[in-house]
Amino acid sequence: MDSNRQTRLKVLINDYFLVIAVVLVIVAAGGAWATYSTVLSPGTHVERQPVSAWQVDGGFNHSGTVVNDSLVFDEGDVRNDRMFYITNSTPTLNGSFWFQLGGSSGNATVSTEAHIADFAHYQEKDDETEEVTQRRIWQNKRAIAANVTELQAGETKNTTFSVDADQLRDRKRNLHEEHKSLYQVADIRTQVFVTTEVNGTVDGYPVDRTFNYTLPINSTMDYFVVSPTRSPDERVTIAQSKEVPNQPGTVPLVGSIAVLLVPLAGLLGLFYGRQNDWFDVPEETRTDIQHAKLQSEFDDWVTTGSIPTDKDRSTIEVDSLEGLVDVAFDSNRRVIEDADTGVYVVRDNGVWYQYTPE
C-alpha cells in the first residue's frame, strides 16, 4: 500500500474509530454465536436407527397322487415337489404352505389366506431403453384356504390347499374362447397367492407386518407346470427414533471460528493501534488529503490557473467546493483553481464566486 493510501486509511480509521469498533463487536458476537451453535452445542436431530433384526421363513411343498395305472406310474404313487405333473395321472395338486416365525422370543398372531388367481399378464420391452414394462390387465382370485394361529418365536405353521388341474385347464380354455384377441398381447397365467399377516411382539418389539408368497402354475392339455416359489424379503429390521448430535461440516466449522477470531483480532489491533498513536495524522496532512479528495471528486469541473488580484471586485464566498461547482454548472462556467493560493473561483457577470479551503 502506497503512503497516500496508508494515510487515507489512518484518517478513515481515526474519524470512524467508534463505528468500526461497534461493527467488529457485532460481527464477533455473531461469530461467537455461530461457533457456539456449530462447535460447542451443535444440536441434535432424530434418526431411525436399527435396534434389532429377525426374519421369517416361508415356502411351498406340493405333491400329486397317481389315480390310475399307466406304463409309467402305478396307482397310489405320490410324486413330490415335481416341476411337471401329468394331468391324467395326477389331476390334483396337493399343496402345503409353511411359515416359520423367527426371533429368539415373543409370540404373534399369524393369519394366512391362500387364493388361486387367474390374471392376464402384459409385458413389453422398450427397444431404446431396454426397460421392461409389466402389468396385469385383469385378475380374478378365489379363496382356497385360510387359518389363524398363535405362534411362538421359532415355531412353524402349515396351511394346506389343493388345486384341481382339470378346472385350471377348463377355465383357461374358456377364457381363451371368450377373449381370443387378448391372447395377442397378454398371457393368461395362474398362481397360488398366499398372504400372511404377523401381529404381535418379537424380541421385545411390536410387529405388524404382511408377507406375500406366490406359487406359479401353468396348466396345459396334458400336464401342468409348477414354477419355483416367489418369496418376499423375509428379514425384518426393527428401528427406533433416536436423537443424535449433529456433525458440522468442515466449511461451517472453519467459517464460524473465522467469523469469531477475525473480528476479535481486528478489535485487538484497533485498540492497540489507538493506544500507540498508529492512526494519528498531522492536521496539515489531513488538509492536504481533503484537498486532494476535493480535486479528484470535481476534477472534470476544475481548471488550474492564475487568478488576478483585484481588491475592488465583487466577491461572494461559497461554503463548499460542491456549492461552487453548482454555480459553475448553472452559469455554464468553469471553476478556476489558483495555483498559488489554492482558492477556487467562478466568475459570472462581473461577480466572483469564491471558495477558500481551510
| DSSP 8-state assignment for residue 334 | -
Convert the pLDDT of each residue in 58-111 to its tens digit: 999 999 999 998 888 889 999 999 999 988 899 999 999 999 988 888 899 999
Residue-by-residue DSSP string for 160-181 = EEEEEHHHHHHHHHHHHHH-TG
Count of structural domains within the chain: 3
Same domain, 228 and 254: no
- Tell me the three cell numbers of residue 328: 459553475
Rounded to an integer, the average pLDDT of 289-318 is 73
Terminal CA-CA length for the chain: 28
Question: In which domain, by residue range, is 334 found?
Answer: 283-355
Same domain, 256 and 314: no
The domain boundary residue, chosen from 255, 275, 295: 275
Burial of residue 300 (number of CB atoms within 10 Å: 0-12, 13-18, 19+): exposed
**In angstroms, rounded to a whole number, what is the distance separating the alpha carbons of residues 63 and 82?**
7
Same domain, 201 and 79: yes
**In angstroms, rounded to a whole number, what is the distance separating the alpha carbons of residues 161 and 180?**
31
CB 99 within 8 A of CB 57: yes
**In angstroms, rounded to a whole number, what is the distance separating the alpha carbons of residues 224 and 193?**
17
pTM, full prediction: 0.54
Higher-pLDDT residue of 201 and 245 is 201
* Residue given cell 416341476 in the structure block: 83
The top-scoring range by mean pLDDT among 83-92, 237-246, 309-318 is 83-92
**In angstroms, rounded to a whole number, what is the distance separating the alpha carbons of residues 184 and 256?**
68
Same domain, 264 and 293: no
| DSSP 8-state assignment for residue 221 | S
Q: What is the pLDDT of residue 293?
A: 66
Same domain, 156 and 200: yes
Same domain, 250 and 301: no
Same domain, 158 and 299: no
Order of strands across the sheet that contains 314-317: 302-305, 335-338, 344-348, 351-355, 314-317
Model confidence at 1, in pLDDT bands (50, 70, 90)? Answer: very low
Share of the chain above pLDDT 90, in %: 20
Q: Any idea what the Cα angle at residue 72 is, between residues 66 and 73, rounded to 5°? A: 20
3-state secondary structure of 27: helix
| DSSP 8-state assignment for residue 131 | P
Instruction: Tell me the sheet residues that pair with 205.
Output: 202
* Residue given cell 389363524 in the structure block: 148
**In angstroms, rounded to a whole number, what is the distance separating the alpha carbons of residues 196 and 153?**
15
3-state secondary structure of 218: strand
Rounded to an integer, the average pLDDT of 16-33 is 80
Same domain, 56 and 190: yes
| DSSP 8-state assignment for residue 138 | E
CB 86 within 8 A of CB 78: no
Same domain, 110 and 204: yes
Same domain, 142 and 263: no
CB 77 within 8 A of CB 64: no
Q: Lowest-confidence range among 49-53, 67-71, 120-124, 271-275?
A: 49-53
Same domain, 30 and 90: no
CB 305 within 8 A of CB 336: yes
Element spanning 291, H or E: helix 283-297
Same domain, 156 and 123: yes
- Tell me the three cell numbers of residue 354: 469564491
Say if residue 128's pLDDT is above 70.
yes
